[in-house]
Structure 1
């Protein structure tokens, strides 16, 4: 059990001793105080229990504080404001906290708050109509790190990619690929027409179609060649997308096709395989919602904004979205009878619930913000109120080089591809920097600054912290003071770690499991990146203090083997946590920096 979990159990015991065993203790938290001068930990126990107890918070705080003051690990108890309880722990607590890090090793910080609960995390889900750009990359990195964080907190996580392979955009892709197919057959296609995709990335698709089909596709009407070319083009684009994601250590476990919800895949007329039966899952979903009273035929009032561009004054099939918290009811069918994007999205999220995912997390671009309420309403409807959908919006990425905007791509023409960015600066810089901002904040990604070797470059600073710790071990080995058995450091005399900087680092290490749990519950992986930078900063500062001005603080003291062993144990704790956090972010923990 880590220190914060231990102290939470002790606060629970104190509160139960005052209020009795039937008290609801689930809302109690123990966390570090905002001001370190207020102590080591703070709890809201009296604040959340006062109403049920029929007491004033401060009076209840006095009673709980009296119980806590008798605890063997508590040095001092203070009551702040209306009833917050601040705790200062005894000095012997901190060596034990460090020893816990050393004993648990790679497992330190992993928790059980998730209790094996199934969670579906869907991210990226870019239309397979072109290469991924850096905006897609930010959503991909965020979603992947969030999934890893939830696994560390004890959830059973499935990483999913929703392939938007239905609708007008993939038909445009098919027509663009067909143009490249004609080009591969020797036609002069001239300028790419307005409305089609001009990127060179479709030339390979055209060449493959020409090699496989010769000129047979040209002889077909569009209605026949379109599904063939669409399937080939989307398959090729998805292969590229998978490769680009793999460069970032991102491998979704499930790739779910939107088209499969509507019709499955239309058969290839040149294939000898028997056609598969077509099942319209979207129609089935709409029918089920209609039977439940959530779908009706009606007219929508004009939008209050006055923007009539997308509004149609006609009788149409509507989902009662307002019954579940949305602003207006939403159309499910277009005027031509085809499904709206919302209709297929409802069927898709119903499939998630049917697959056992009551908890769902979708990672979307910020331009989908207006879509949040309706989708959450839909999940409530299709799950009978049992499903929960958290939508994390990822803001824009402004790509810079030395502060100047970067716009042109060597490959896509009108934007920089994710692949180009990863090739230039490396996956570690991309992943860490995109997680070193909260997801809902615009990110300035400077191609020059993310590879600087300075404190201002967070990924370098954190990785350098891990490499510096490993360099201390190499020096200790060269000087014959590093134990051959790594477990020997667990038995070091950690009471010798009395310097304020050393104790501050131990406090930071003790916070790691609590930070991970809070980050997982809030769905905020950026907290890991912030924490790692702070831990690395304290480590680098302690290294500097042990320089010429305070040589007694060096990590290796030749004539004091016991203190050296204790400080090597501290370094082991630091590199263990740095490596753990970097792994959750999908970033390497290097042995040395070159």
Structure 2
């Protein structure tokens, strides 16, 4: 309905433009909201107040001009001007009833719109370091990012999904060193494993593949590996130790052999991540390599760009970004005193690359542990004169998994974590995805494993899917009894639906497109999840209190038509959440 009201207002504004009353206007400025108070109608627009200055009119006067030029529409019962210049729309009963035929005609397309007008949006999500399998914490960002992409696509945006591969830098060197040490153990060496190394069994498995494939070509005795290294924790500095050990690996192995070991670790883990996400229902348009930024000289290009804008200065041999000029707590080093770019330099280069690819908007989905990184990235965009409307960062709190009352620890380095794959195999993809997105992303989440596995009404995803399956079963019974369904959802048929439960369901169905739009524009998939829960609740109440396969053909057809519409909307909504809509349960 919002789309239709926008169309009517756009037509009125176009008339005013042709008359010279409104020289310039943008349809993007048309805002329509559901009213909180039914005495103010069903929907309201503040467009007169937004355009009053451009039209050189008082908002109320402009509102009168707009209302006078609104095309006639049988679904609108009344249009009123209220307050400082609101236009309030009251809908006719026929508008609500017509939604049923709309749903059955549009099917999968119901709820979709062209609000985004095909604008290109870059959406980066997950982007976990390829140093180990995805764990349940990453799963929440994956489900959130993918669902947001589906929602934005549904309202007319063209979404580019991207995974940023941090395949350069210190963490990857630590991974390669950890792999080498496990390989040396398989060669018969006994040596202490570093406190800062990656310890998971997946490292041992890759080391076995390395030993099988390469034999002993990477083998060096323990004495040579550990000679004159600094002390590790708890006596020494564990970070200095792992860095020295990584340097030793590069020295002994040489560039070619070290690179072979490095690539095997990277590619094995990255392949595992790709497969895991695919099984979770997530695909990407591009997997973007950090190393490609270096090869393309994008980092230096970004540094030069900031220098040209006067946003960098030198101090103590390093280059610093003036991020405090844009609200950050301190300036940030972008090139170290040794001439090496920092991780921040790579990150700014990546975001400049996104900008130069011409996206109307850039959305980053980060884990909540990156909260402190937001001000410096926002400062970088401000330095480039990028508006806040063009860039959005959504933080996702990591999910905390509980087995019974025991909290499960998750640490990639220690190897003590539950993988996303293990979670999915235990509770299923549908439950995992729904539970991840049913809370606002910035809220802490305690993942109730037992609830997710349950097959009862207390399990929200089961409750919604069961509503869909119940409706499917009604149509199965219809066939088994040799009855037919007249799918013609005309006005006469719809008027058969006058029970209070039926009107409640019709009203719920009417607001589905708005639920999709709100979930998308507010980057809040949980709003759609709760809409579906409410719709399922009303269906279950209706199912338990009414008979659908009644003797009267007219009433039977009307009720079947209504629940068929409910079934379609539940399926559409679950599809946007990446959850299946089973016919049988």
Q: Given that residues 12 and 71 in structure 2 are in contact (C-alpha distance below 8 angstroms), is that contact kept between their aligned partners in structure 1?
A: no
CA change 1:111–1:403 in 2 (3 A) is: farther
CA change 1:373–1:490 in 2 (3 A) is: farther
Q: Given that residues 15 and 45 in structure 1 are in contact (C-alpha distance below 8 angstroms), is that contact kept between their aligned partners in structure 2?
A: no
Indicate the residue corresponding to 2:3 in structure 1: 5
Q: Does residue 564 of the first structure (1) align with residue 556 of the second (2)? A: yes
Deviation per CA, 1:493-549: give whole Å up to 9, x if none.
222222232222222222222332333222222222122112212212222232xxx
Q: Distance in 2 between matches of 1:291 and 1:129?
A: 36
Q: Distance in 2 between matches of 1:541 and 1:378?
A: 53
Q: Given the two structures, how large is their TM-score scaled by the length of structure 1?
A: 0.84
Gaps (5+ residues) in structure 2? Answer: 221-250
Indicate the residue corresponding to 1:585 in structure 2: 577
Give the paired residue count. 550
1:149 to 134, 148, 151: 151
How far is the alpha carbon of 1:21 from its aligned partner?
Answer: 6.8
Q: Distance in 2 between matches of 1:211 and 1:473?
A: 58
CA change 1:382–1:28 in 2 (3 A) is: closer
Kindly report the root-mean-square deviation, in angstroms, between the aligned alpha carbons of the 2 structures: 3.2
Indicate the residue corresponding to 1:503 in structure 2: 503
Indicate the residue corresponding to 2:216 in structure 1: 215
Indicate the residue corresponding to 2:526 in structure 1: 526
Q: Given that residues 368 and 396 in structure 2 are in contact (C-alpha distance below 8 angstroms), is that contact kept between their aligned partners in structure 1?
A: yes
1:443 to 435, 439, 445: 445
How far is the alpha carbon of 1:372 from its aligned partner?
Answer: 1.5
Deviation per CA, 1:435-476: give whole Å up to 9, x if none.
111111111111001222333322111111211121121122
CA change 1:145–1:22 in 2 (3 A) is: farther
Indicate the residue corresponding to 2:262 in structure 1: 230
Q: Given that residues 187 and 219 in structure 2 are in contact (C-alpha distance below 8 angstroms), is that contact kept between their aligned partners in structure 1?
A: no
CA change 1:318–1:65 in 2 (3 A) is: same
Indicate the residue corresponding to 1:27 in structure 2: 29
Q: Given that residues 431 and 452 in structure 2 are in contact (C-alpha distance below 8 angstroms), is that contact kept between their aligned partners in structure 1?
A: yes
Q: Secondary structure at the match of 1:170?
A: helix
Q: Distance in 2 between matches of 1:281 and 1:316?
A: 19
Q: Given the two structures, how large is their TM-score scaled by the length of structure 2?
A: 0.85
Q: Distance in 1 between matches of 2:83 and 2:146?
A: 40
Q: Given that residues 175 and 226 in structure 1 are in contact (C-alpha distance below 8 angstroms), is that contact kept between their aligned partners in structure 2?
A: no
CA change 1:118–1:15 in 2 (3 A) is: closer
How far is the alpha carbon of 1:580 from its aligned partner?
Answer: 1.0
Q: Distance in 2 between matches of 1:509 and 1:133?
A: 37
Q: Given that residues 125 and 163 in structure 2 are in contact (C-alpha distance below 8 angstroms), is that contact kept between their aligned partners in structure 1?
A: yes
Q: Distance in 2 between matches of 1:281 and 1:217?
A: 34
Q: Given that residues 32 and 43 in structure 2 are in contact (C-alpha distance below 8 angstroms), is that contact kept between their aligned partners in structure 1?
A: yes
Indicate the residue corresponding to 2:434 in structure 1: 432
Q: Distance in 2 between matches of 1:36 and 1:398?
A: 41
Deviation per CA, 1:341-380: give whole Å up to 9, x if none.
1100111122222333342111101111121132133245
Q: Given that residues 31 and 47 in structure 2 are in contact (C-alpha distance below 8 angstroms), is that contact kept between their aligned partners in structure 1?
A: yes
How far is the alpha carbon of 1:239 from its aligned partner?
Answer: 1.2
Indicate the residue corresponding to 1:162 in structure 2: 164
Q: Does residue 493 of the first structure (1) align with residue 524 of the second (2)? A: no
Indicate the residue corresponding to 2:513 in structure 1: 513
* 509-518 or 208-217, which deviates more: 509-518
CA change 1:479–1:490 in 2 (3 A) is: farther
Q: Distance in 1 between matches of 2:151 and 2:157?
A: 9
Q: Given that residues 399 and 444 in structure 1 are in contact (C-alpha distance below 8 angstroms), is that contact kept between their aligned partners in structure 2?
A: yes
Q: Does residue 297 of the first structure (1) align with residue 314 of the second (2)? A: yes
CA change 1:437–1:353 in 2 (3 A) is: same
* 469-478 or 122-131, which deviates more: 469-478
Q: Distance in 2 between matches of 1:119 and 1:410?
A: 31
* 536-545 or 324-333, which deviates more: 324-333
Gaps (5+ residues) in structure 1? Answer: 264-278, 299-313, 547-553
How far is the alpha carbon of 1:386 from its aligned partner?
Answer: 11
